[in-house]
Chains A and B, each alone.
Chain A
Amino acid sequence: MKAAVVTFPGSNCDRDLAVAFERAGFAVSRVWHKDTALPEGVDVVGVPGGFSFGDYLRCGAIAAQSPIAAAIRGHAARGGYVLGICNGFQVLTEMQLLPGALMRNAGLKFICKTIGLNVATSDSAFTSAYAKGQQIAVPVAHHDGNYTIDAEGLAALHAEDRVAFRYAQNPNGSAADIAGVLSANRRVLGMMPHPERVVDARAGGTDGAALFASLMGGMALA
């Protein structure tokens, strides 16, 4: 299986994300934001955390218009897998590959700590190695993670079982405690917490490893 990890100016979790994919057995290539195409045969694209383009205008807004974003859009349209973490989640909502928007945290503070997450569905290639309802410990590090969606959109997410993760204790004001959501075809996941930071017991935990292992085992060919 092949993964590509995108780097924007200001990305800072790209290497960690590449390492997490590698540890799960993926062959990883790195892609620059000015690239106009993904490498041949990529199964999953990782859009990493950080502060792409300095969070100018809105978090993720400039990155969502970059040349590589068009290639990611094409990959998703073909049924390819996309994983957006933190700023990557913001980029995917700005690209409208995922519904809703990430607004300033309700408490206005940047939050950087490990928190409890409940796995809301195991019915996705990203979460199949978790049990539904399982609680995992994953760090968050964001200023704009307050997931906002209109009532109609929220009802659709619930009806289609598209909430992937919920906060055990809502840190940022997100609607319905939502920490991560899936696309309608369940092949695009965006989440604010950082599973790539918990794939090594020597560096804080291993609760994120199952996400990458799920993907390695559970992806249909893109």
Chain B
Amino acid sequence: MKARVTVMLKSGVLDVQGEAVRHALGTLGFAGVNGVRQGKVIELDLAETDKAAAETAVKAMCEKLLSNTVIESYRVELL
């Protein structure tokens, strides 16, 4: 089973890299981009075949390593 984890900065945490991308888009002439948030996508190839067990395991991975919950939030999708 494959899982996809999306890690984003929590809303309220200033994303300075996203802001830089937004400025760059404006410079390139792409008008109307009101905000850019940048994050990470992490794909996992799991031996687990049970969906619920996989979700529990991946959430534990997110809490322990894949995200820093002080500043980031995560979303788990099973594919």
Which A residues form the contact surface with B (CB < 8 A)?
57-58, 61, 65, 93-94, 96, 99-101, 103-108, 146, 148-150, 173
Contacts and interface: CB of A to CB of B under 8 A. Distances in A.
Contacts, number: 35
The DSSP consensus for interface residues of chain B is: helix
Given A93-B70, A100-B70, A101-B71, A65 B65 contact: yes
B71 A61 contact: no
Interface string B10-22: 0001101100100
The 5 A-B residue pairs whose C-beta atoms are closest, nearest first, are A101-B70, A101-B71, A106-B16, A104-B16, A108-B20
Contact of A105 (B16, B64, B68, B70): B16
B36 interface: no
B66 to A, nearest CB: 7
B16 A146 contact: yes
B5 to A, nearest CB: 11
B68 A94 contact: yes
B13 A104 contact: no
A108 B17 CA distance: 7
Contacts of B16: 103-108, 146, 173
Interface in B6-51: 13-14, 16-17, 20
A58 B39 CA distance: 12
A148 B13 CA distance: 8
Contacts of B64: 65
A152 B16 CA distance: 22
B71 to A, nearest CB: 5
